[in-house]
Amino acid sequence: MVAPTGYASWASRSARSPARLQPQVRRSWALGAEPWNRLNLSGLTMNPPVQVSDDLWLLSWTSTWNHPFRVYRDGLLVSEQDARQYLAHIAPGESPIFEVLDNPALHPSPAYPPYLFLGWKADSDAVQYRVEENVASVWTLRALVTAQAGEDWLTHATGVLADETQAEWRVIPVDAAGNQGTAKTFTVLMVRYPDPPSVTFTYNAGTGAVTLAAS
């Protein structure tokens, strides 16, 4: 058996991890002072989240503006309100990012889900696949995926992955006798909220070409 061809892509689904993570509130973009100062607005200040119950958190903020507030969760609008607080339900394993905007000219920053789809091409000799995650340098079994007749590609949705952290997974084909084949390894840097690109550009008047470069 050879290492299966594979890919990793974003996934979006409900978390299954039993961990309960504190919701995050962004201060570097929509919740920070910089955007409002840049637009000559007085600003909006987030208070630390308060856990009300097992899966309920109170988010509150102060603002000198009386505009309706738009509350975004992971980049999606969840409430438009005048109140300066919001009750958020956090499912097990979730770690959502909340943004509050008080200016209709502002838009939420892009958000990406904290999950991945691992995909790989089927091995003709395999009856199942071991899906393992590297946890503290120890390969840990996360799932056994059974091969189905006539299936060319298989997938597995991971659990919640920590932001700004490199995740490493591997898929090992196993034949009917229990022999393991060559593993396919996936190494992914999870960045749910990437920084805006910092680039410079030059224009060549002779050719009309524009060249972009990282600054």
Q: What is the pLDDT of residues 42-98, one digit of tens each?
A: 467 888 888 898 888 898 888 877 678 888 887 788 999 999 999 988 876 666 778
C-beta separation of 69 from 63 below 8 A: yes
Could you tell me which of 100, 98, 19, 11 has the C-alpha nearest to residue 55? 19
Asked if 171 and 182 touch (Cβ cutoff 8 Å), the reply is: no
Residue 19 has what pLDDT? 28
Assign 212 to helix, strand or coil: strand
pTM tops 0.75: no
Identify the three-state secondary structure at position 75.
coil
pLDDT in tens, 126-171: 999 999 999 999 999 999 999 888 888 998 988 878 778 889 999 9
Confidence of residue 27 (pLDDT cuts 50, 70, 90): very low
Instruction: Report, at the CATH architecture level, how domain 27-101 is classified.
Output: Sandwich (2.60)
On the CB side of 101, how many CA atoms lie within 13 Å of its CA? 20
- What is the second-level CATH architecture of the domain 6-13+114-190? Sandwich (2.60)
Higher pLDDT, 143 or 36: 143
Least Cα distance to 195 among 116, 109, 72 occurs for: 109
Q: Where in the chain is CATH 2.60.40.10?
A: 6-13+114-190
